[in-house]
Structure 1
């Protein structure tokens, strides 16, 4: 799932305890969550705030790694407080923790689009508290692990020259944690203009995809749809990978059609995965394919970028400073596969300067 972080992926405890701030108006919830976190030796609950204002006061003097933010609170709800919470927390991650964040809910997708790194529903009456505790701890640890510096991977980064005479025929955008917010910045900056199909793979469960598609449609003026097997790709149309399959493409005579792949990607184990999307674009469009890798945990997109570059296409990636997690873009960049590392809002201008894309 990744953007909604997978509950089944374990993560080794970090050496320095993860500093967590909880924001919830319910004393009962603060007590329950506090009990879960206090049993974890690698996590430190540094503040139990009963309101956003109390949390802001704490953040003005203390640093935190993770914020657990409730949505429905008196005075100011979580979605309203979220952008300000991100500003106050600097590089801290926010997990929206609310009964309104059931799988596929509008609140969860809205939180992710604003900048939350994850969203998790509080357990309903009769549901397993043990399962919820395991999910919560796993998601905190995974985000903390992604934040940790990777000294072994910190070698010099070499950018590839952008292909000379590049003519855009297809755009593929891959993202995971923090990707919805990054995509909004990218599309609003003018990427959604080229006369070419745009394929998007965002790591999300299937239940979230319908709301996500509506969210993307609000980001731009192009038609948006969840990709269907066998449909012909049309210029100026955005196709979104369904949560239960990877989005790729295949050439059929004079047309390029959607190909959905139900198996998990062999390189990343992700589903949906960016790798099959990029690989299909390389086969169908060759030197006219453009891959864009946005923020996300893991390495998905690197293997597909190799195929794009080998076919003569181009790859650009989000820079570390603007990424929620510089996993996916960083992996491709360190592999020497990208021509530029940029904030999403700067990508359309770069592409226009290089090849006239979006002009």
Structure 2
């Protein structure tokens, strides 16, 4: 006999985050989706259930903003339970999550007619990759657009710690996402003279946009711009751009020369390219000579790698909240107490150049 027991979660909630209930009879699906949402500061999984009946019991006593509901459930189906779920809490949004409820299908149309907010196709077993993860978050962000923006714009701020630079700047890494292209234009406008070090750049963009993005960068700056390739020897005053299908990392080769090493593996948060692996490899290769710039962007990519840079003796500058389109990435780094300064992009290169000479 199978007993449908609720699976509880004890995730620390972020104030204002979208409180989410996952209802699916597969423990794998529940775990994967919880992991995806827990990587997003705008969402908090408050409960998981494997049946509609247990989900309704939870909704009777707890406030929830979002229900991710599977169609096929033991006992009462998700579709049959949908009206009761919507009645249980007037403002709740329900996103149907099912492998047999494609957009445009009869079941999908019925679910939407009953009041579901969206339909998300669930992939087959073992296929929960980046495409599904990003697609799910994109769909949910559209349902809670203003809420998500508000959460990402109110990350706690730890005052920057102005520790002295320990070594001269040897390599500068730049990470950006939403709103990043405009911020990069301002960043490079503030570059008044060559810095004498290589620059590594990871901007969250699909692979098909990489060449066009590099061409845009060439119009923004007099520095040489190159889409990074494995084996490239890092040269000063050259911007190496992460391709859209690989992380831009560095390693020290023969005779101490530092070269590019592309890595196609997605980060645990699903980013590709990711700022975290770029920063982490810089910390390993350059130590206290590494520095990072974190610009506007959704999510927290860059925080783990920034911690590696700071631990190695390097330093981090982040974009301030007022000038950011989304203060997710820079706000996360600031909230972790990893920054030595918060400022607008056009101020950054002058600051980096001056600080980079301190250790000389």
Q: Determine if the TM-score, normalized by the shorter chain, exceeds 0.5.
A: yes
Counterparts in 2 of 1:229 and 1:138: CA distance versus 1, 3 Å: same
Cα pair 2:183 2:296 within 8 Å, conserved: yes
Equivalence for 2:341 = 340
Q: Deviations over 1:26-61 (max 9, x none)?
A: xxxxxxxxxxxx999989xxxxxxxxxxxxxxxxxx
Q: Deviations over 1:55-78 (max 9, x none)?
A: xxxxxxxxxxxxxxxxxxxxxxxx
Equivalence for 2:260 = 258
Mapped to 2, the partners of 1:280 and 1:235 lie a distance apart of 18
Q: Deviations over 1:318-351 (max 9, x none)?
A: 0000000000001011101110110001112323
Equivalence for 1:248 = 249
Equivalence for 2:179 = 178
Q: Deviations over 1:256-310 (max 9, x none)?
A: 01011111112x3211000010011111111111100000000000000011001
Mapped to 2, the partners of 1:229 and 1:142 lie a distance apart of 40
Counterparts in 2 of 1:271 and 1:174: CA distance versus 1, 3 Å: same
Equivalence for 1:32 = none
Using the TM superposition, give the Cα deviation of residue 144 of structure 1 relative to its aligned residue in structure 2, in angstroms: 3.1
Which structure 2 residue ranges, 5 or more long, are not aligned? 1-32, 44-64, 67-89, 93-112, 119-134
Query: Which has more radius of gyration?
Result: 2
Counterparts in 2 of 1:270 and 1:134: CA distance versus 1, 3 Å: closer
Which structure 1 residue ranges, 5 or more long, are not aligned? 1-7, 18-37, 44-132
Equivalence for 1:349 = 350
Counterparts in 2 of 1:314 and 1:136: CA distance versus 1, 3 Å: closer
Cα pair 1:165 1:355 within 8 Å, conserved: no
Equivalence for 1:319 = 320
RMSD, aligned α-carbons: 3.4
Equivalence for 1:211 = 212
Mapped to 1, the partners of 2:206 and 2:144 lie a distance apart of 17
Aligned residues: 241
How do residues 1-359 of structure 1 correspond to structure 2 at under 5 angstroms? Answer: 138=140, 140-141=142-143, 143-149=145-151, 153-154=155-156, 156-190=157-191, 193-253=194-254, 254-266=256-268, 268-356=269-357
Cα pair 2:170 2:198 within 8 Å, conserved: yes
Counterparts in 2 of 1:152 and 1:136: CA distance versus 1, 3 Å: closer
Using the TM superposition, give the Cα deviation of residue 168 of structure 1 relative to its aligned residue in structure 2, in angstroms: 1.0
Using the TM superposition, give the Cα deviation of residue 164 of structure 1 relative to its aligned residue in structure 2, in angstroms: 3.2
Cα pair 1:16 1:42 within 8 Å, conserved: no
Cα pair 2:296 2:319 within 8 Å, conserved: yes
Describe the SS at the equivalent of 2:291: strand
Mapped to 1, the partners of 2:239 and 2:335 lie a distance apart of 29
Counterparts in 2 of 1:193 and 1:141: CA distance versus 1, 3 Å: farther
Cα pair 2:278 2:305 within 8 Å, conserved: yes
Using the TM superposition, give the Cα deviation of residue 206 of structure 1 relative to its aligned residue in structure 2, in angstroms: 0.3
Counterparts in 2 of 1:196 and 1:355: CA distance versus 1, 3 Å: closer
Using the TM superposition, give the Cα deviation of residue 162 of structure 1 relative to its aligned residue in structure 2, in angstroms: 3.5
Q: Deviations over 1:110-154 (max 9, x none)?
A: xxxxxxxxxxxxxxxxxxxxxxx9998555346534312369953
Using the TM superposition, give the Cα deviation of residue 157 of structure 1 relative to its aligned residue in structure 2, in angstroms: 1.0
Mapped to 1, the partners of 2:211 and 2:137 lie a distance apart of 24
Mapped to 1, the partners of 2:174 and 2:138 lie a distance apart of 29
Mapped to 2, the partners of 1:282 and 1:227 lie a distance apart of 19
Cα pair 1:192 1:222 within 8 Å, conserved: no
Using the TM superposition, give the Cα deviation of residue 207 of structure 1 relative to its aligned residue in structure 2, in angstroms: 0.5
Compare 135-144 and 205-214 and name the one that shifted more: 135-144
Equivalence for 1:122 = none
Cα pair 1:146 1:297 within 8 Å, conserved: no
Cα pair 2:276 2:303 within 8 Å, conserved: yes
Counterparts in 2 of 1:143 and 1:151: CA distance versus 1, 3 Å: closer
Counterparts in 2 of 1:16 and 1:252: CA distance versus 1, 3 Å: farther
Counterparts in 2 of 1:333 and 1:42: CA distance versus 1, 3 Å: farther
